[in-house]
Amino acid sequence: MLSHKEEYNQVYVQLTRLPPADAERITAHLSYGIRAVTAEDIAKVQKVSDLFSALKILPNKVDVAAITVHGRFAHALMYSLLIVK
């Protein structure tokens, strides 16, 4: 379980620009387990990225595999980069 739920929610609000109450409803349902990023994870995100590029939501194509942090603690690393200022 996440020990700093309020701080996490504040970061989520900043990143998504959602109202705090909406963000809290979403983050309350998140799983906080840490695991390595898989090829399946990358493929799923790549599909979304390709769609967003086709719809011109993203200005350029993104190679998700090239920007993925690999390893067991990648999620924890990304989380700590968001929280620590």
Helical packing angle, 20-27 and 5-16, nearest 10°: 120
Query: Average pLDDT, whole number, for the chain?
Result: 80
Element (H, E) at 24: helix 20-27
Contact 2, 8 (CB under 8 A): yes
Q: What is the pLDDT of residues 41-52, one digit of tens each?
A: 999 999 999 999
Q: Is the pLDDT of residue 84 over 50?
A: no
- Say what the pLDDT of residue 8 is: 83
- Mean pLDDT value across residues 25-38: 74
Global pTM value: 0.50
Of the ranges 13-27, 28-42, 62-76, which is most confident?
13-27
Locate the domains of the chain by residue range. Answer: 1-32, 37-85
